[in-house]
Amino acid sequence: MLDYSALSALAAVVREGSFDRAASALHVTPSAISQRVRLLEERMGCALVVRDQPCRATEAGRRLCQHVDRVRLLEQDLSDAVPSLVSDRAARVQLPVAVNADSLATWFAPAVAIFAADAPVLVEIAVDDQDHTAEWLRSGVVMAAVTGGARPAAGCNSQALGAMRYVAAASPAFRARHFAEGVGAASLAVAPSLVFNTKDALQSQWARRLCHRHVELPRHVVPSSHAFVTAALAGMGWGLHPLSLIAQHLKDGSLVDLAPTMPLDVPLYWQQARAASALLESLTRQVVAAASRALLPP
């Protein structure tokens, strides 16, 4: 049998990033946390935590943390059905999920807020590019994710949410300065673009569709959806923005669509671990409902 006090200590170290913070979260001493993790590692015969700043789980450690998350969700379901089995009714379970930044900035956060208002959970949201959030599922770090791929990760279900529409936009002054003779390979190779991070390939994808070949784009890195819009408004560069996020700016003319006939629709999917958990199913219902209102039909 697994030692669940040791598993809880391991999960706390990974979640909090250090043994000291894990001890504080579990109301025990750091030495108690260290001893529990060490004994668990001895029993498993391998390292479970990379003792770094911050601490992070090894592959085996991630699998155990995922197991703990699933058990806690199932225990919460059981407590709802048999209240006498649970002594601490105020306890909340951790529910880790991953999502792309643009979804979080538009439709996803309200959906999670509605879910968390009534559910006994503490939601941990990890942000990554939609083409990379599935890796969080595969590694066991999260239990559900908004992804850019339909193929489910091992042990997960996948369902289409719809497509997020992006438009290439810039300030009127930026367009006049850089695209006075039109938007094409030559002008795109010179005009500064905006990217969220090094994983953000939307601008390159859009330029390839427009020009029918790869264009090497100069780029500013702006790792925030709202700051991305602010940078475009200030004339820092052009970029692909969620239409819902800049609709008012397009309407009032503070941003202009560089190619009105060339939007980029990015399909999104919801993948969740196949844990028979009412809490996870409740979150899924809220996410699917919010996506159906905010996104283009699948």
Enumerate the domain spans of the chain: 164-266
Query: Residue 244 and residue 179: Cα distance in Å, rounded?
Result: 24
Query: Residue 269 and residue 292: Cα distance in Å, rounded?
Result: 12
- Closest residue by Cα to residue 52 from 96, 12, 98, 13: 13
Residue showing tokens 């919460």: 76
Q: Is the dihedral of CA 7, 12, 18, 23 positive or negative?
A: negative
Q: What is the pLDDT of residue 162?
A: 98
- The tally of CA atoms less than 13 A away on the side-chain side of residue 86 is 17
Beta strands at 121-127 and 93-99: parallel, antiparallel or unpaired: parallel
Query: Residue 88 and residue 120: Cα distance in Å, rounded?
Result: 12
Query: Residue 29 and residue 3: Cα distance in Å, rounded?
Result: 18
Question: Which residues, other chains included, contact 77 with Cβ-Cβ below 8 Å and sequence gap of 6+?
Answer: 276, 277, 278, 279
Residue showing tokens 């969080």: 136
Q: What is the pLDDT of residues 72-93, one digit of tens each?
A: 777 776 666 666 655 555 567 8
Report the CATH superfamily, name and number, of domain 164-266: Periplasmic binding protein-like II (3.40.190.10)
- The tally of CA atoms less than 13 A away on the side-chain side of residue 247 is 6
The amino acid present at 285, given as its one-letter code, is R
Token pair in block for residue 211: 């020009």
Q: Which residues of 118-156 are buried (b: 16+ CB within 10 A; e: fewer)?
A: ebebeeeeebbbbbebbbbbeebbbbbbbbbbeebbeeb
Q: What is the pLDDT of residue 81?
A: 65
Query: Residue 170 and residue 237: Cα distance in Å, rounded?
Result: 7
Q: What is the pLDDT of residue 182?
A: 96
The amino acid present at 199, given as its one-letter code, is K
pTM: 0.82
3-state helix/strand/coil string of the chain: CCCHHHHHHHHHHHHHCCHHHHHHHHCCCHHHHHHHHHHHHHHHCCCCEECCCCCEECHHHHHHHHHHHHHHHHHHHHHHHCHHHCCCCCCCEEEEEEECHHHHHHHHHHHHHHHHHHCCEEEEEEECCCCCHHHHHHCCCCCEEEECCCCCCCCEEEEEEEEEEEEEEECHHHHHHHCCCCCCHHHHCCCCEEECCCCCCHHHHHHHHHHCCCCCCCEEECCCHHHHHHHHHCCCCEEEEEHHHHHHHHHHCCCEECCCCCCEEEEEEEEEECCCCHHHHHHHHHHHHHHHHHCECC
Ranges of the chain whose pLDDT falls below 70: 1, 77-91, 275-276
